[in-house]
Chains A and B, each alone.
Chain A
């Protein structure tokens, strides 16, 4: 479905028809936003988990360790310049206090760390982040401007950054 919405585990790209990308209701998941200001190409991944256990898993968008390199490779294949790529992330919350939960079980926190490790591995700098906490988020990226906004329950859409 080319509606610009990154569903769980999906990677979407901007196009003339769908200049705005969104990931709706992120809880522990991460919305990874990548933008090339030169070509105005934007990509968004709705990452669910820190790492893939099955390295042959075709659903690369699902895991932080596979989604980051996949998004970069696809953007470059679509004509983006790797050195121009700018990145922002949102999500990684922990809504429930799980009984006996340790950091090991805090998938939100582990997702944030895994995305940062993967970005470092690809030598990409994180420009802005709105992560952690106890509430869900919707993240929106407009490829016309590189502007990223975040909305939380009961709140208005607020600007996170403008990738340029």
Chain B
């Protein structure tokens, strides 16, 4: 989004970040319930960052990841992306479906639908908080799941969202698990902050 200087913009940004952090809290509660307390979310960064640097939060650009993308329609349009390391995604599928760890080996139809469900739950809980904060309507699209290189997944979302600016407002969150390390994060990019 356009990021002009000025105190009005600054206060809008800071109130957006407050709402977004409340959203992450909600999403974290939802995933905690869904995973029987195995996983929660933690905010690792929130603010304005150069768009080109955002792909680096994923670690190695060539790492195989599972990406879950949802576009957000309504009064505050935006883009939500969950990125999970491939093995972490498989572990999440095992945890969420109550299978023994290591049971899932591929992202096929069933695993993909678990990832979609995860995307739905994380993003809709997050949006509920944002919607309450702003008193506005926000609707997520059905999730799309892809398995590809980390940098490719992230650049495809960033560049195709119409974010042609140098900077992007983003909330970067990581999955934290008490039983097993889940490497992944949730990225939310608003189109307009008002």
One of A9, A49, A108 near B156 (C-beta < 8 A)? A108
Q: Mark B40-76, 1 if CB is under 8 A from A, else 0.
A: 0000000000011001000001101001010100000
Residues of B within 8 A of A153 (CB): 64, 147-149
In the complex with contacts A25-B150, A27-B151, A95-B152, A105-B160 CB distance below 8 A: yes
User: Is B39's CB within 8 Å of the partner chain A?
Assistant: no
Residues of B within 8 A of A101 (CB): 160
User: Is A55's CB within 8 Å of the partner chain B?
Assistant: no
User: Is A141's CB within 8 Å of the partner chain B?
Assistant: no
Say yes or no: A94 contacts B164, CB within 8 Å.
no
Say yes or no: A24 contacts B61, CB within 8 Å.
yes
In the complex with contacts A8-B55, A138-B149, A26-B160 CB distance below 8 A: no
Interface residues in A, total, Cβ within 8 A: 33
Residues of B within 8 A of A96 (CB): 67, 69, 144, 146, 156-157, 160
Say yes or no: B155 contacts A24, CB within 8 Å.
no
One of A8, A53, A57, A99 near B155 (C-beta < 8 A)? A8
Q: Which 8 A-B pairs have the closest CB atoms?
A: A136-B152, A25-B151, A27-B152, A25-B149, A27-B156, A25-B61, A24-B61, A8-B52
Known: A107-B159, A153-B147. 14 other contacts (CB 8 A): A8-B51, A27-B153, A27-B156, A28-B155, A28-B156, A28-B159, A28-B160, A29-B159, A49-B159, A53-B164, A95-B153, A96-B144, A96-B146, A108-B156
